[in-house]
């Protein structure tokens, strides 16, 4: 942190995103400010986008299960519950408890867990002392898929402040689960990392919407850096990469194009409005700072 503070250059710091103005004194945003002032930050943000749009090893419909806000948060919360229970600091991760903690309806949560169990991502264990209690245990494959974005943030943050947290956590799913547990606790105590980012949140509410946002922002950053961006921004290319329909791609991208936040021409990025760029920069910096602090 001291190193990052030392690198802070107010002349390089972009405009503060309006959503976090009231939270700018929080430690996570002080660290994020230092990250943003680093001249290598856009390169680290581009590296994050590249990781996020890589083809997933998971087959349909697994990608659709994970790449949407309610389903993702449900998995995230389950991993946190299971980690705290394993460490002896929390209650058993049951369906009933999970349903009280996530934004979806009870039916949505139970249907999601049924799908995860069928896919081998969640295992149900019966309590030997109370056979009515069924504990839900996330498998390492689920933990790694849900932690894809946190791990990518840590890998990119390591480009600005050298560490090997990405490698260490990728090789230790128990430790990675504890990281997610600490993240859920921070989120539940005070949400200064997610809710303030209206456009990002809106994209996450659509199947693979956040991945498409990473695709368009990555294309913009690559063009700014004079680097190649291999994923074309056509409906066909995006629908194939993210396993959704062409119509769905058009509906998701319209969240930004109809508001003038970005333009697309022939599968390539056109203009990106400063409002969207500012929001995505602060979002990325905040997530880097959040997971770096927890992992340390």
Evaluate whether 241 touches 53 at the Cβ level (below 8 Å): yes
Of the pLDDT bands very low, low, confident and very high (cuts 50, 70, 90), residue 7 is very low
Band (pLDDT 50/70/90 cuts) for residue 66 is: low
Binning pLDDT at 50, 70 and 90, where does residue 10 land? very low
pTM, to two decimals: 0.91
Work out the pLDDT band at 65, boundaries 50, 70, 90.
low
Decide the pairing of beta strands 134-138 and 122-126. antiparallel
Residue 9 pLDDT > 70, yes or no?
no
What's the average model confidence in pLDDT over 39-48? 97
Which of the four pLDDT bands, split at 50, 70 and 90, describes residue 8? very low
Q: Which residues, including other chains, have CB under 8 Å from residue 31's CB and lie 6 or more apart? A: 1, 4, 289, 292, 293
Q: Please tell me the predicted confidence (pLDDT) of residue 59.
A: 56
Q: Reply yes or no on whether the pLDDT at 254 is more than 90.
A: yes
Per the listing, tokens 């022939």 go with 266
Q: How confident is the model at residue 175 (pLDDT cuts 50, 70, 90)?
A: very high
Nearest to 177 by CA among 87, 71, 103, 260: 87
Q: Rank 44-48, 52-56, 127-131 by mean pLDDT and report only the highest.
A: 44-48
Which two structure tokens, joined as six digits, stand for 253? 């991208």
User: What gap in Å lies between CA 83 and CA 80, rounded to an integer?
Assistant: 5
Across 128-138, average pLDDT = 87
């Amino acid at each position: 942190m001291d190193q990052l503070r030392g690198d802070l250059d107010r002349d390089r710091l972009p405009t503060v995103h309006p959503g976090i103005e009231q939270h700018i004194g929080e430690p996570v945003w002080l660290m994020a400010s230092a990250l943003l002032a680093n001249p290598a930050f856009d390169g680290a943000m581009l590296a994050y986008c590249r990781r996020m749009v890589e083809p997933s090893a998971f087959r349909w419909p697994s990608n659709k299960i994970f790449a949407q806000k309610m389903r993702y948060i449900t998995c995230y919360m389950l991993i946190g519950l299971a980690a705290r229970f394993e460490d002896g600091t929390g209650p058993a991760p049951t369906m009933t408890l999970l349903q009280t903690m996530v934004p979806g309806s009870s039916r949505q949560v139970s249907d999601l867990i049924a799908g995860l169990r069928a896919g081998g991502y969640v295992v149900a264990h019966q309590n030997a002392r109370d056979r009515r209690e069924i504990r839900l245990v996330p498998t390492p494959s689920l933990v790694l898929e849900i932690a894809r974005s946190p791990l990518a943030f840590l890998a990119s943050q390591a480009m600005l402040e050298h560490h090997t947290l990405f490698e260490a956590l990728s090789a230790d799913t128990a430790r990675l689960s504890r990281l997610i547990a600490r993240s859920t606790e921070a989120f539940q105590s005070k949400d200064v990392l997610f809710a303030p980012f209206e456009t990002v949140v809106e994209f996450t509410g659509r199947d693979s919407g956040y991945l498409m946002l990473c695709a368009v922002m990555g294309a913009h950053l690559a063009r700014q850096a004079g680097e190649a961006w291999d994923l074309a921004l056509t409906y066909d290319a995006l629908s194939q990469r993210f396993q959704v329909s062409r119509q769905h791609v058009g509906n998701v991208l319209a969240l930004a194009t109809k508001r003038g936040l970005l333009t697309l021409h022939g599968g390539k990025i056109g203009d990106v409005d400063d409002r969207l760029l500012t929001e995505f920069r602060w979002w990325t910096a905040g997530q880097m700072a959040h997971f770096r602090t927890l992992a340390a």
